[in-house]
Amino acid sequence: MRLFAISRQALTVFAVFFLLPVVAQAQIEITLKKSLIERYKDRVTIDADFVVDKAHKKLNPPSKDGDMHVAGRSP
């Protein structure tokens, strides 16, 4: 005997409107010790064929993040 019959659609609507805002507001801050960064900073490498489809014409300024943003693909 079922006391509550909830459709899958009703459950989805409930999750989107009531649970998603809770997850969306989660703020996580991770702080790494400088010694950990110094110890592992040159140990990660990757070897891959990569085709660059689009890239900025120049690096971002240091005030932003100093990164070179690119989009591409690898087989």
- Which amino acid belongs to residue 54? K
**Residue 72 pLDDT:** 93
pTM: 0.35
**Residue 4 pLDDT:** 52
**What is the DSSP secondary structure assignment for residue 59, as one 8-state letter?**
P
Which residues are registered as beta bridge partners of 52? 72
Query: What are the Cα distances from residue 53, in Å, to 63, 70, 73?
Result: 26, 8, 7
State the 10-residue block means of pLDDT for the chain, 75 residues long.
60 66 66 88 82 90 87 89
- Which amino acid belongs to residue 32? L
**Residue 14 pLDDT:** 66
Start-to-end Cα distance in the chain: 54
What is the domain partition of the chain in residue ranges? 8-73
